């Protein structure tokens, strides 16, 4: 079963930091994502975080029915942001 990429134009602001099993991970939770994507499974997208573009990124499931974007140390360094800081995320294309 193949999936045709779909253009998106969805922007939100959220803090870096998602509680997972008692620890705070350097992720950003996508609000209302299960309804927005129509699935509770992982989704691949193109997006930007502030002014940093990222392609073919996997949005992981949160375990609570939503999705989260992991921001590794390299991306956080480019953003000059860390856990607790707010970022603006723009989803531009769904790939899966």
Question: Is pTM beyond 0.85 here?
Answer: yes
The torsion of the CA quartet 25, 20, 15, 65, rounded to 10 degrees, works out to 130
Q: Is the dihedral of CA 80, 84, 86, 92 positive or negative?
A: positive
**Per-residue pLDDT of the chain in tens (96 residues, 90 and over written 9):** 578 999 999 999 999 999 988 999 999 999 999 999 999 999 999 999 999 999 999 999 998 889 999 999 999 999 999 999 999 999 999 999
């Amino acid at each position: 079963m193949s999936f045709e990429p779909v253009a998106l134009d969805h922007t939100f602001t959220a803090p870096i930091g998602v509680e997972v099993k008692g620890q705070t991970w350097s992720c950003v939770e996508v609000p209302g994502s299960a309804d927005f994507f129509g699935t509770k499974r992982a989704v691949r997208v193109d997006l930007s975080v502030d002014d940093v573009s990222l392609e073919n990124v996997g949005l992981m499931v949160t375990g609570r029915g939503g999705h989260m974007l992991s921001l590794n140390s390299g991306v956080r360094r480019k953003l000059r942001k860390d856990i607790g800081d707010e970022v603006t995320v723009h989803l531009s294309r769904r790939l899966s």
